[in-house]
Copies of this chain bind each other. A is one copy, B any other.
Amino acid sequence: MQDESHETGDSLFEAPPMAEQERMVEAILFATAEPVTVAELADRMPHGCDPAEALAHLRRRYEGRGVRLVKVGDAWAMRTAPDLGHLMHRETVETRKLSRAAIETLAIIAYHQPVTRAEIEEIRGVSVSRGTVDQLIEMEWIRFGRRKMTPGRPVTFVVTQAFLDHFGLESARDLPGLAELRSAGLLDNRPPPGSLPQVGDGTDEDDEGGITPEGQSELFED
Stretch at the interface among A81-89, A99-107, A115-123, A197-205: A81-89
One complex includes copies of this chain to the number of 2
**Which of B1, B2, B45, B66 has a CB less than 8 Å from the CB of A27?**
B66
Contact status A44-B84, CB under 8 Å: no
**A97 at interface by CB-CB < 8 Å:** no
Q: Which residues of B contact A43 (CB under 8 A)?
A: 90-91
A31 sits at the interface (CB 8 A):
yes
Contact of A65 with B23 in the complex, beta carbons under 8 Å: yes
Contacts of A64 in B (CB 8 A): 23
Say yes or no for A183: interface residue by CB 8 A criterion. Answer: no
Which residues from B are CB-within-8-Å of A150? none
Interface set of A (CB-CB < 8 Å, partner B): 1-6, 22-28, 30-33, 40, 43-45, 64-67, 78, 80-81, 84-92, 139-140, 162, 165-166
